[in-house]
Structure 1
Amino acid sequence: MRIHILIISCLVVSCIACKEKAPVQKPTTPFDYLLGDWERTNSKGGSETFEHWKTVTATELRGHGYTLEDEDTVFNERMRLVQKKNEWQLQISGPNETPTVFKITENDGKSFTAVNPENEFPKVIRYSYFDDVLTATISSEEMEIPFIFWRIED
């Protein structure tokens, strides 16, 4: 009788130990198409520009953009997409110590528009994703600068 109990106990322990663990779910956001590493394809000669985006929580993504010239960092900025009071905003820190805040006015799951009419330049930032190409355009009434990125594969 003891042997039966021992065998059944071993089987139960084995089944529990072998049970597959459920994969950890990453939080999802309306901006998940940004996630990963990107390299700008239309940089000026002699420089390379990159962006990296990661999920922090279901209400926050963080990005890092930088430009290299001869392996020296000549531009560096931090970006946050964060939801506050059911509204999303894009916060840019970099050359400025205090983040510049842009309100997300449009978002369709593959593109978004962020505006700050008080900012000198840019007043509008628009990201769009199509066919594994990410385009970020910064603009004002007078000027528009496109940044075209391809995903960097691991």
Structure 2
Amino acid sequence: MIELTDEMRTAVKRRMGVADGDRLDPWTEAAVEDVLAIVERDQAQATEYTLSALPEEHPEASLFQVKVAYRGRGKWAVIWRSYCINRRGVWDYEPLPSSRTDRWLKAHRFELDEALRLARKALPKLSIHGMTAAEILTTTP
């Protein structure tokens, strides 16, 4: 839940003409908290997260990025290039949607927290031409 911060209280007081040292009345504070709950409920949901094993300014950064992408029905995929990770942490080629069986989807779709955990775990193991991001960073001047 979005928490009512001191900065928010100050802004509300200023709008209502309440002196800085005075407190908001309980009804006003409750109303502001109700509005924050509505904002949190209705705010746009992210549909993709990008995690990178290299700094974004590194010329090879795009090769070492894993995406956690929303795939509908509350499920997320962990994607690297044309591959999706499965529950065992193995990268599998992602078939066309019409070729994805229920079994394949069950093995490759996750709740968000699990997808992010799998993505973070996979990042250090990615390799391009036999080199991990850590090895690239140690050899790049």
Same fold (TM over 0.5): no
**Coarse TM-score class (shorter-chain normalised):** 0.3 to 0.5
Query: Could you state the TM-score of these two structures normalised by the residue count of structure 1?
Result: 0.31
Normalized per residue, which structure has more strand? 1
Q: Which has the higher contact order (CA 8 A, sep 6+)?
A: 2
Normalized per residue, which structure has more helix? 2
